[in-house]
A and B are shown apart, each in its own frame.
Chain A
Amino acid sequence: AAGVIQSPRHLIKEKRETATLKCYPIPRHDTVYWYQQGPGQDPQFLISFYEKMQSDKGSIPDRFSAQQFSDYHSELNMSSLELGDSALYFCASSGRGLLDEQYFGPGTRLTVT
């Protein structure tokens, strides 16, 4: 079965640079979630989109923005990167049901040097 696709899988950036992470949900899933997992930490919810509209917002820095496109894929844009942004970024998708379980992608490991 098709799973959530994230690209790139690994990314190395320098401080103050920008990064764009992409997420392709499972086919027919219309909701996308972004989570950030710092080293040794649990995943923290950043933001979610349902039918291309922002549906919920968590502890996402103002330097980050995200959107969901007409084909339901989503992009997380990160600017003015800081060392503390180094983390594993997960995208998850779920179906139309309000409480459908979220299926996670493999994650993008971002390293800021």
Chain B
Amino acid sequence: AQKVTQAQTEISVVEKEDVTLDCVYETRDTTYYLFWYKQPPSGELVFLIRRNSFDEQNEISGRYSWNFQKSTSSFNFTITASQVVDSAVYFCALNPGAAGNKLTFGGGTRVLVKP
């Protein structure tokens, strides 16, 4: 069975501060994919990034960066120089690979960026 845990339920920061969201996952599959989605107050789910289990190269994309550590089963996400528009709920999700394509989501972390 797959499980995704986001221990932080809510993070509040002041604009321009950095925010790091934690994600820990459990799976028995050797091939799997990890995702981050953003859900703004309007409700839609916005795809941010996908990483496969064989690619531990971390990446920076604009103000976003990701840290995938297979040894600790963690896939953390950082927003640098946060902005008010970053206020949203962020979900980490796991796709079990060969076992199917459904996504298992973590509980989400609500990020509130204050001006």
Residues of A within 8 A of B (CB): 31, 33, 35, 41-45, 48, 55-56, 58, 88, 90, 92, 94, 98-99, 101-107, 109
Contact = CB atoms under 8 A, between A and B. Distances in A.
B101 A43 contact: no
Contacts of A56: 100-102
Contacts of B106: 42
B33 A99 contact: yes
Nearest to B42: A106
Contacts of B35: 101
A104 B44 contact: yes
A33 B46 CA distance: 15
Given A104-B45, A107-B44, A45 B102 contact: yes
Nearest to A47: B102
A99 B97 contact: yes
Contacts of B46: 104
Contacts of B105: 42-44
A100 B101 CA distance: 8
Contacts of A103: 47
B91 interface: yes
B95 interface: yes
A107 B100 CA distance: 23
Contact of A43 (B47, B50, B103): B103
A84 B74 CA distance: 33
Given A99-B52, A104-B44, A106-B43, A45 B104 contact: yes
Given A45-B102, A99-B33, A109 B47 contact: no
